[in-house]
Structure 1
Amino acid sequence: MSGQRRTLQDLADAAGLSLAATSYALRGVRGSPATITRVRELAEELGYTVDPIARALASGRTGSVGVSGSLRDLWQQDLSVLLTRALRSQGSYATIADADADPEQERLIVEQFAAQRVDGALVSPVDPTAKYWRLLGPEVAVVAIGDALTARPGTGSVLFDNRYGVRAALAHLAGLGHRRIGLLAPALPSTPGRPAQVLAAEVASRLGVDLVEIAAPAATVDAVEVAAELLAAPQRPTGVFCLSDSLAFAVYRAAREMGLRLPDDLSVVGYDDHQLAALVDPGLTTMAWDEDAIVAAAVEQLAGPAEPAPLFRPELVVRGSTARPAT
């Protein structure tokens, strides 16, 4: 077995003990002092090193933290990378899963995390009101990013001030003179309770704006067709507010395929300030979040939920994608 990593079975065979007895002796949990000493000396002679994951399992901890979000959304992709790096810096590793904006897929992910016995979970929930979050027991530290998990008491939260963000975005368009505005939301009919989407209708009513709501797939390419349907309507909106930059980029493509000029014929506002927002032409007007602070607050709460939950307010970044509507 030269050159191969020694296993616990190799050590057990050399010691003439069962796997369980060998493991107990290595950790000093059971066995006579002589047996414990003999097993540890044999381990040193064989060059056996304990698998850190196996040791973690034996201690009831895995060192793994589940990270869940809709990863076809560009901003959530970046957020998952930042969360993974932050966890790695603390000696944990991430198990990343794609909920794909689908509550049923999210339920399966929660079941998977429970089966894998993750120590914690950092989630950007598709359906924050779902009862399946209770499948993660109280021993699992769960932190929801964006929206609170209302059905799971004791969950940590990093909340987004969506009321401020939605109001700032719609007020920007209304202030430019837009009175018919499209709303693209990365949600399915089965998740109508997303706070930002609900707030948009309320804010639009107060601003005297006619809001045309439409659900779209989270992925940019898949959302182009939906965006095109919105722009082809007889009473086409003069502005579109997208609850993710990924959807805003889909509107860009749909508009150009239809011969519409941005912002002359159509104004577009996003909601993430993804790194591509400043690179597209024209630059995307959007709401920017402090990603580094959000990640730090989320990872910190794996040690215990904060009271009150931190609330992050976005900042309106005005670029070239918005202007007064054409006469």
Structure 2
Amino acid sequence: MSRQQPRRTLQDLATAAGLSLAATSYALRGVRGSPDTIRRVRELADELGYTVDPIARALASGRTGSIGVSGSLRDLWQQDLSVLLTRALRSRGRYATIADADADPSQERLIVEQFAAQRVDGAIVSPVDPSASYWRLLAPEVAVVSLGDALTERPGSGCVLFDNEYGVTAALRHLQELGHRRVGMLAPSLPSTPGRPSEVLAPRIAASIGLELSIVSAPAATTEAVTVVSALLADRGRPTALFCLSDSLAFAAYHAARATGLRVPSDVSVIGYDDHQLAALVSPGLTTMAWDEDAIVESAVGQLIDRSAAPSPFRPSLVERGSTSRPPAG
């Protein structure tokens, strides 16, 4: 019977690398050391079969190295952003625990409770309900950064601010300049979700530029949203353009238009919000509002690690493709 090999320790790795314990730990996490040293230490760790014991590290340092990442992952853009956040955190020696809030405040509360129970070192969240009191369940020493909306009930949290007023104005003005007057706006929210800034801003902006705007709440899941959009497009007084507050909803609008015998953009224009990587691959290409995702991720992770870092607002830019045109005559 073969005897089980003893667990390799950090001291074993440090001895093999010819470094101090501290230098070995820093190199292993990619926190400090030259690129060659970091690569050599990680290669030696693989050769020796060394793995970090998270319990031991937590007991020794009071930290788990785990960062909670929460968002509504049916949305394609939030899926991609979660991947980028995971990579950025890993490069800084942190490890992401990803949770899906599913655009539901009650589910989001359970996630916050779970993060608190797991004693995460920090959290980066795309909040469903930024005004909820449950954000205070995360202890003050836990660094929290929200994306898009400030957590009003948890003062001191970091925030990556989105200039949605600029984005909504640019999207609606683009449609207005093409000649549209009746516009439907699809908002990815549930009835239990409080009004979000974009939905609040849109009616005022639309009125100021002479647009008749109707706001429809659509499920976050693309396939479920098709039914909602199809009903909107089947109405006799249907809008001539759809402004979708996520590219996921815009893709649902494409499908719904085809299902109701309409063509994009000759019968109905569609404009999205995110510039997901699929936006350039659908036919016609989706006109949408694009964010600098790399800069957003860098800002979020930077504020998480350095809580004194000041947030800066991000402004989206209009990317014109083939999904918008002048409205049909008559």
TM-score, normalised with respect to structure 1:
0.85
Identity of aligned residues (%): 69
5+ residue gaps, structure 2, are: 10-47
Question: In the TM superposition, what whole-angstrom CA distance separates every residue of 1:110-139 from its partner, at most 9, and x where no partner exists?
Answer: 000000000000001111111111111101
Task: Answer yes or no: is the 8 Å Cα contact 1:283–1:320 preserved in 2.
Answer: yes
Pairwise mapping of residues 226-265 of structure 1 onto structure 2 (< 5 A)? Answer: 226-265=228-267
Task: Answer yes or no: is the 8 Å Cα contact 2:299–2:311 preserved in 1.
Answer: no
Task: Answer yes or no: is the 8 Å Cα contact 2:77–2:274 preserved in 1.
Answer: yes
Question: In the TM superposition, what whole-angstrom CA distance separates every residue of 1:243-298 from its partner, at most 9, and x where no partner exists?
Answer: 00000000000000111011000000000000000000000000000000000000
Q: Amino acid of the residue matched to residue 66 of structure 1?
A: G
Tell me the secondary structure at the aligned position of residue 218 of structure 1: coil
Other-structure match for 1:2: 3
Distance in structure 2 (CA, Å) of the matches to 1:5 and 1:191: 52
Alignment RMSD (CA, Å): 1.8
Question: In the TM superposition, what whole-angstrom CA distance separates every residue of 1:136-165 from its partner, at most 9, and x where no partner exists?
Answer: 110100000111111110000001000000
* Matched pairs, number: 289
Pairwise mapping of residues 114-153 of structure 1 onto structure 2 (< 5 A)? Answer: 114-153=116-155
- CA offset at residue 197 of structure 1? 1.3
Question: In the TM superposition, what whole-angstrom CA distance separates every residue of 1:197-226 from its partner, at most 9, and x where no partner exists?
Answer: 111112111112111111111111111111
Task: Answer yes or no: is the 8 Å Cα contact 2:279–2:285 preserved in 1.
Answer: yes
TM-score, normalised with respect to structure 2:
0.84
Task: Answer yes or no: is the 8 Å Cα contact 1:184–1:242 preserved in 2.
Answer: yes
Distance in structure 2 (CA, Å) of the matches to 1:306 and 1:203: 34
Q: Amino acid of the residue matched to residue 116 of structure 1?
A: Q
Distance in structure 2 (CA, Å) of the matches to 1:322 and 1:306: 43
Task: Answer yes or no: is the 8 Å Cα contact 1:157–1:305 preserved in 2.
Answer: no
Tell me the secondary structure at the aligned position of residue 124 of structure 2: strand
Distance 1:50 1:236, change over 3 A: closer
Task: Answer yes or no: is the 8 Å Cα contact 2:302–2:309 preserved in 1.
Answer: no
Distance in structure 1 (CA, Å) of the matches to 2:264 and 2:104: 31
Tell me the secondary structure at the aligned position of residue 103 of structure 2: coil
Pairwise mapping of residues 156-167 of structure 1 onto structure 2 (< 5 A)? Answer: 156-167=158-169
1:56 is aligned to 2:81: no
- CA offset at residue 5 of structure 1? 5.2
Tell me the secondary structure at the aligned position of residue 113 of structure 2: helix
Q: Amino acid of the residue matched to residue 159 of structure 1?
A: L
The structure with the larger Rg is 1
- CA offset at residue 188 of structure 1? 1.2
- CA offset at residue 3 of structure 1? 3.2
5+ residue gaps, structure 1, are: 9-46
Task: Answer yes or no: is the 8 Å Cα contact 1:156–1:304 preserved in 2.
Answer: no
- CA offset at residue 304 of structure 1? 3.5
Tell me the secondary structure at the aligned position of residue 243 of structure 2: strand
Pairwise mapping of residues 23-34 of structure 1 onto structure 2 (< 5 A)? Answer: none
Other-structure match for 1:274: 276
Q: Amino acid of the residue matched to residue 53 of structure 1?
A: P
Task: Answer yes or no: is the 8 Å Cα contact 2:303–2:311 preserved in 1.
Answer: no
Distance 1:93 1:307, change over 3 A: closer
Distance in structure 2 (CA, Å) of the matches to 1:82 and 1:115: 25
Tell me the secondary structure at the aligned position of residue 62 of structure 2: coil
Distance in structure 2 (CA, Å) of the matches to 1:50 and 1:290: 35
- CA offset at residue 233 of structure 1? 1.7
Task: Answer yes or no: is the 8 Å Cα contact 2:148–2:159 preserved in 1.
Answer: yes
- CA offset at residue 55 of structure 1? 2.1
1:100 is aligned to 2:131: no
